Amino acid sequence: MRTLTVADIVRKFPVEVLVGEDHLNRVLKKTKVRRPGLEFLDKFDFIAKDHVQILGKNEINYLHTLSDEECKLRIHNIVYYNPPCIIITSQQEEPLGLRQFCTRENIPVLRTPDSMTEMSAKLDAYVVKAMAPEIAIHGVCVNVAGIGVLLRGKSGVGKSETAHILIGRGHRLVADDIVVLKKLSPQTLLGTHDEKNKEFLALRSIGLLNVVRLYGRAAFQEETRIALDIELTEWQENSLNNELEVDTKYKMYMDVPVPHIQIQLQPGRDVAGLIEAAANNWYLQQQGYSAAEEFMKRLEQEFSKDDHKQ
């Protein structure tokens, strides 16, 4: 998990530092920003600590209606819980006492032209991704028709070559060789690159390619939600290759289950086409349709007709 500081917010977003420029190394500990509410009512037993505090128009307007002493008291209630920083939105004027208390406690105060809604949404999304637990695995990540696919297999099995064919068919590369997986929730896994391999695809006998320079911006995507885990394996003569998989198999990454299928390789086999079919089939399943289940129902109906005739 990456450590985030207030300095990261200053670099990432359009904000100005009003107070605490020498204390931007303060660490963020929580992934959600918080609007003060209970602090204004002195209900301290229910206050969540360590969150970035954000002041929108409603909060600022409320503070401006108070007397000087009352306004300072409410500001003190926020500062008392030592947030990593306080953000004023919509380029509003800072309330009375904020600069004084935050200077004394070394708490940075930032101001942005963005509205409360815009800043909260963007900052929450950024912090959740940046602070998410992550692992790096060997494989290739592609986005196939909007569906994130993780390609795995032994070195030299053809993962990068398959990704190259998919790019030629209009799909997108996310990461080659090293895929960084971030756990955003118990059900959500995000796949991305490790910055060093961004936009690069390594092909045996050809070398390193920059897919954006070769094929344009549409050939690359920064990140994608992982929907399928596909393992490319060598062809096994004695295995059953036309089985009906009614029950989905899963691969676990950081306790997040990802639907898993295995594709066996053979000369002349259209592996990229099979991956496209798997992605489209996964999409249909999310809509509630299963070809295998429909086929089984048809068999059951046929057996039922035969039994009735007898």
Instruction: Determine whether 19 is exposed, middle or buried from the number of CB atoms within 10 Å of its CB (0-12, 13-18, 19+).
Output: buried
At 186-226, the pLDDT tens digits run: 999 999 999 999 999 999 989 999 999 999 999 999 999 99
Please give the pLDDT value at position 77: 81
Please tell me the distance from the alpha carbon of residue 79 to that of residue 75, in angstroms, as a whole number.
6
CA distance 303 to 99: 80
Residue 301's pLDDT is what?
Answer: 83
Token output for 98: 């904020």
Does residue 177 carry a catalytic annotation?
yes
Write the CA distances from 192 to 9, 151, 175, 225, integer angstroms: 21, 13, 6, 9
Per the CB < 8 A criterion, the answer to whether 223 and 232 are in contact is: no
The C-alpha atoms of residue 225 and residue 95 are separated, in whole angstroms, by 41
Residue 70, pLDDT score: 87
Beta bridge partners of 147: 144
pTM of the model: 0.81
Taking the C-alpha atoms of residue 291 and residue 37, their distance in angstroms, rounded to an integer, is: 52
Tokens representing 288 are: 């509630």
Asked whether 194 and 161 are in contact (CB, 8 A), the reply is no
Catalytic annotation present for 159: yes
Q: Quick check: 193 and 220 in contact, CB under 8 A?
A: no
Active-site entry in 32, 43, 57, 138: 138
Name beta bridge partners: 264: 233
Q: What's the confidence (pLDDT) of residue 20?
A: 93
Query: So what's the pLDDT on residue 38?
Result: 55
* Strands (DSSP E) found in the chain: 16-19, 53-55, 86-88, 109-111, 134-144, 147-152, 172-185, 188-192, 200-203, 207-210, 223-234, 249-253, 256-265
Give me the catalytic one of 177, 198, 251, 260: 177
Considering the candidates 159, 171, 182, 183, report the single residue annotated as catalytic: 159
Residues 6+ apart with CB under 8 A from 20: 6, 85, 102, 103, 106, 107, 108, 109
> Residue 105's closest CA among 66, 75, 127?
75
Per-residue pLDDT of the chain (310 residues; tens, 9 = 90+): 678 999 999 999 999 999 999 999 999 988 888 887 655 655 555 556 788 999 999 888 888 888 888 888 888 888 888 899 999 999 999 888 889 999 999 999 999 999 999 999 999 999 999 999 999 999 999 999 999 999 999 998 999 999 999 999 999 999 999 999 999 999 999 999 999 999 999 999 899 999 999 999 999 999 999 999 999 998 877 665 556 666 789 999 999 999 999 999 888 889 999 999 999 999 999 999 988 888 888 888 877 766 666 6
SS3 38: helix
The angle subtended at Cα 124 by Cα 79 and Cα 174, nearest 5°, is 150
Q: Give the amino acid at 100.
A: Q
Whole-Å CA distances, 273 to 17, 126, 276: 52, 35, 5
Tell me the C-alpha to C-alpha distance, in Å, between residue 286 and each of 145, 147, 259, 282: 15, 12, 12, 6
